[in-house]
Structure 1
């Protein structure tokens, strides 16, 4: 981990391309969501962080580089949070056209994210991309 930013509406941290970064990112996010009172959506949000961080480590971060986890809480009293994972790798994540088989060891991460998030997407950055998710405090 390198840089850390924490204020009322934003939490941000960089993580190395290492498996240990995924549980560290999950714990960091869980603390932020608890501070922000995300409530019943906290588990969904933490799972989204876990899946996006795992994808960054496995597919998005070139050797010797890091990924950035940025968490926002909207300042409009909606309780909505935005999760962003920034990486500098090539490629564009996408959900599979069909679910993975029962014995498959991967391929479910973005399907979970798509099912849990209110919205999700990918934006370009130079270099790389930002994979983002928004979740409201409650689903209506």
Structure 2
């Protein structure tokens, strides 16, 4: 008599292979979503920098007062729902020259990862570890 079907061993091997492929797919998807969030936060930083250029053209300074920055149009990504990046100035206004600013988008999930943009247009992607920031410039 001939028996049709799968053995328990064949079924376990198929489930193992499926779980490996699924794990690889989930990891790739998560990396893609992180990269998308980073790119979107970078776009918002550039829009805030354009706002600051207009502000400077109007008032001949970047600071609102000696101790405060103007309110940025974009302060988080995404603008609604759970924030992935917080966007703000990278330094306090009191200790900064009138002709200089740094904008920073900080990853909410990993506060040690951030993107930085200066008034000169220098864009850096940074990661901090043990009190040391390692940055790479945008290619």
Q: Give me the TM-score of the superposition, normalised by structure 1.
A: 0.32
| Higher RCO (CA 8 Å, separation ≥ 6 residues) | 1
User: TM-score scaled by structure 2?
Assistant: 0.32
Larger strand share, 1 or 2: 1
- In terms of fraction of residues, the more helix-rich structure is 2
